C-alpha cells in the first residue's frame, strides 16, 4: 500500500503526565515505553497506528472503571 502524503506532522500525544501504570502504559498518553522512546523514529503511518492504539487503551480503561450498574440517561419521550 502506498503511503499517504502528509502536509502536517503527526503531533506527539504527550500530555506531560509521565507516569507508568501497572501494565507499563503512560497514564497521560497511554503509550508503551517502546512507543514513547521510538516516537521520533516512527513514520507518520506508524504514529497514526500508535494513536489508534492509545485511543483503544483509553476506551478500555474507561469501560473498566465505569460501574456496570450505571445506565446512560434515557431520553424522555417527546409525546
Residue 2 inside a domain? The answer is no
Q: What digits encode the pLDDT tens for the residues 16-73?
A: 998 999 999 999 999 999 999 999 999 999 999 999 999 999 999 999 887 766 666 6
Structural domain includes residue 21: yes
* Residue range of the domain that includes 33: 15-65
31 within domain boundaries? yes
Residue 74 pLDDT: 78
pLDDT above 80 (res 14): yes
Burial of 38: CB neighbours in 10 Å, binned 0-12, 13-18, 19+: middle
- pTM strictly above 0.85: no
Yes or no: say if 68 and 31 are a contact pair by the CB < 8 Å rule.
no
Given a cut of 70, whether residue 5 has pLDDT beyond it is no
Residue 5 lies in a domain: no
- Write down the pLDDT at residue 75: 76
Number of domains forming the structure of the chain: 1
* Contact call for residues 15 and 29 (beta carbons, < 8 A): yes
Amino acid at each position: 500500500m502506498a503511503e499517504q502524503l502528509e502536509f502536517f506532522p503527526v503531533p506527539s500525544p504527550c500530555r506531560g503526565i509521565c507516569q507508568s501504570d501497572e501494565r507499563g502504559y503512560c497514564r497521560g498518553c497511554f503509550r508503551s515505553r517502546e512507543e514513547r522512546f521510538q516516537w521520533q523514529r516512527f513514520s507518520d503511518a506508524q504514529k497514526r497506528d500508535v494513536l489508534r492504539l492509545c485511543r483503544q487503551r483509553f476506551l478500555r480503561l474507561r469501560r473498566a472503571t465505569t460501574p456496570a450498574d450505571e445506565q446512560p440517561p434515557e431520553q424522555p419521550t417527546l409525546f
